[in-house]
Structure 1
């Protein structure tokens, strides 16, 4: 990750125990320190996936329940306050035909139990993370109903994680994006794009144009508080054609759009003189500022 592109980093599949890939605790600790040194926040993803994960196929209700309660405590104890927020529930509605754990006898309230346990362990903001939010249909409607039910039952959902995986079958207009954002703002105070990518049929101009429009639309809405890519380099991406940088690290048009916005349009550079009390003030974007005071340099967070 280029260290000059500051923002938020999402530990995808954070401390899960799937077949194959895993990280040792010392590697995770080193990653946390590297990110902290560069003022890059980390999201925790996730505590429970309602759509049955591959490693739990064939397991009975008692095993599944204990797995998620144990793993929730393990992850939260290990991480502590090194993440800024948690996706507590991932894919509560999911894709058509998904095997939803909360439909299984004995697990109907497992998501609530995970919420209760998480709240007993941390005061960090809790999110629900789902895909196809902008596309009208059962996944979006089901997510809205799920969030409304959690709110009614008194569960502390700080926001919606909108995965935002796109392809040419549906590319919403900025007006549609804003309308759906308004709708979900009725049930959660914050929204974040958590896993953005776009796959097009070798049409980089379309991918770049849509990336620009979506970033501007979400940036313009007060409900949105973040925009994360679900991978950025072709050499390490679940869909290499959706990467923003090629394998040789040359940048694609969609990546250039991303940089132009976050490093130019939405970037604040000022030179200031202190008042008689040694203070300065300025109007700028929220985030981390590198303050150079003569030969002294420090980082200041503006919220």
Structure 2
């Protein structure tokens, strides 16, 4: 997990999918495109090819035909269609693209989805989606976006373009549909939480002697991960007791933040520079339930340390191996997660400087070989809080999974504000979840100065995350205004680290709403309850005195606990 950054896109690697101008619903139809699957080989009245040649191909993603775009004379030449939509509504677009050839000297091409808005004769181009690492051996690649149509926009033009005119491509299974809002989403989300996060508990009691028994079922840890980034210096410094106590009281997972990134290799060489503090941090890791560490590698241009820049290909690969071994020698057995290659849709440093187009796969395999027990993740920003890379991120995860790479899960950096639309956020989570892998919200912030708005938005988004079956945990990207990237996202403030309105709302969710504490009087030999999955302490009391204590873990399928008194 790294800081939220922006980067320049390499203009020399553009495969562009342009979607121009948006329009009004037709007769309430679900699908707004004409001939969206290209099964009709007649393109009259549906698709046109501007500045290129359009034909039908039997090489298809679905069905029997696709559209083949060749003889392109300009970078803007490509497939197009006019449709209608309603102003103010949200829509989702998707299509599958297959490159037929690569431009000379290119390792990748970038597929983009761009929208042209024409309002009062003025054209505005919006880059709505990128797929930056597409090759011919990628096969069929999904591209897409979500988009809210401006209130004064009524007509649309969908335009597909590849920046390099010499590249030919196929298109199939296109779709343009309404994304309806759900005013009842929170009720539905809470119902899902009860369904997917809880399980039945049965306590069988033997050798009861008379009446006056009570059963106390107390949850001590949650299966769903609630965590936060911590500053490695402050979490082990005795002068920051209030900071430490707030963490221990309100979180069960930790991640080492970016506070000490001197001499960094995009965040993790910090481990090698901590010296005297690192053993203390390892003691802290052993105190919390579970922990993960930030990125092992990151390919953003401008974020590569000087000491590796300029290395030859073989020297760089050896340095990468040395880095992995150095880090894991210090962390072995202490961490559960590694973010292997961070934000790699935004940067291609290691691909370009090693000459290995599949270096991401190799990194996963190297780290898995070095420490097989650690769960390995991708991690990326602008995939949930923004629409630009959502589909590309899902596509990358699918490709790694299908290639047999030891990828456990998908990390999502979700830096938002109180204006984040829940319907849109759920759509993006659903899209990424199509990869069929666990999702972790690895960096979560709600950057809002108004504490009431922040508290409400925090609760809504946490509820959505908790209710999504693919999401296994949420890690805040800091919690205290004295040590946080975005001060207006803090849950606690001041030298005493006191919770603000958003912090109190989080505490209510963590300690009460999504926590199980049950006390029941015993009227027979069996007690039934339902609880959130996680670790529990069970106490049997007789006339107010504890006579038996047992511990158990509640998972999917429920738990039966037998107590012999």
* Shift, 1:206, TM fit: 2.2
8 Å CA contact 1:212–1:257 kept in 2: the answer is yes
For CA contacts below 8 A with separation 6 or more, give which structure has more relative contact order.
Answer: 2
Q: Report what 2:284 is aligned to.
A: 34
| Structure possessing the higher radius of gyration over alpha carbons | 2
Q: Report what 2:384 is aligned to.
A: 134
Structure 2 counterpart of 1:225, from 467, 472, 475: 472
Compare the two structures and name the one with the higher helix fraction.
1
8 Å CA contact 2:451–2:500 kept in 1: the answer is yes
**1:11 aligned to 2:256?**
yes
Distance 1:299 1:90, change over 3 A: farther
1:105 and 1:34 mapped to 2: Cα distance? 37
2:492 is paired with a residue whose SS is coil
After superposition, the C-alpha distances for 1:151-179 in whole angstroms (9 at most, x for unaligned) are: 222212211111111246xx432222222
Distance 1:231 1:298, change over 3 A: farther
* Shift, 1:220, TM fit: 0.6
2:278 and 2:364 mapped to 1: Cα distance? 24
Q: Report what 1:91 is aligned to.
A: 343
Matches within 5 A, 1:220-259: 220-248=467-495, 249-259=497-507
Structure 2 residue runs of 5 or longer lacking an equivalent are 1-243, 541-545, 556-565
Q: Report what 2:400 is aligned to.
A: 150
1:287 and 1:14 mapped to 2: Cα distance? 31
8 Å CA contact 1:61–1:107 kept in 2: the answer is no
Structure 1 counterpart of 2:311, from 37, 60, 70: 60
**1:184 aligned to 2:432?**
yes
Distance 1:299 1:7, change over 3 A: farther
**1:212 aligned to 2:459?**
yes
TM-score by length of 1: 0.83
2:501 and 2:427 mapped to 1: Cα distance? 27
After superposition, the C-alpha distances for 1:126-150 in whole angstroms (9 at most, x for unaligned) are: 1111112224543223322221221
1:231 and 1:261 mapped to 2: Cα distance? 17
8 Å CA contact 1:14–1:46 kept in 2: the answer is no
Moved more, 21-30 or 261-270: 21-30
2:369 and 2:305 mapped to 1: Cα distance? 26
Structure 2 counterpart of 1:82, from 330, 334, 343: 334
Distance 1:282 1:172, change over 3 A: same
Distance 1:138 1:165, change over 3 A: same
* Shift, 1:81, TM fit: 2.4
8 Å CA contact 1:90–1:128 kept in 2: the answer is yes
2:519 is paired with a residue whose SS is coil
Q: Report what 2:221 is aligned to.
A: none
Q: Report what 1:47 is aligned to.
A: 296
Distance 1:59 1:177, change over 3 A: same
Moved more, 225-234 or 65-74: 65-74
1:254 is paired with a residue whose SS is helix
2:482 and 2:294 mapped to 1: Cα distance? 22
After superposition, the C-alpha distances for 1:73-96 in whole angstroms (9 at most, x for unaligned) are: 2222322222122211211113xx
2:320 and 2:437 mapped to 1: Cα distance? 27
2:341 is paired with a residue whose SS is strand
1:154 and 1:214 mapped to 2: Cα distance? 33
* Shift, 1:231, TM fit: 0.7
1:297 and 1:25 mapped to 2: Cα distance? 42
8 Å CA contact 1:191–1:223 kept in 2: the answer is yes
Distance 1:204 1:69, change over 3 A: same
1:151 is paired with a residue whose SS is helix
Compare the two structures and name the one with the higher strand fraction.
2
Structure 1 residue runs of 5 or longer lacking an equivalent are none
Distance 1:224 1:61, change over 3 A: farther
8 Å CA contact 2:340–2:363 kept in 1: the answer is yes
1:236 is paired with a residue whose SS is coil
8 Å CA contact 1:288–1:301 kept in 2: the answer is yes
8 Å CA contact 1:194–1:228 kept in 2: the answer is yes
Aligned length: 295
2:445 and 2:535 mapped to 1: Cα distance? 25
* Shift, 1:43, TM fit: 1.3
TM-score by length of 2: 0.47
* Shift, 1:31, TM fit: 2.7
* Shift, 1:58, TM fit: 3.5
2:511 is paired with a residue whose SS is helix
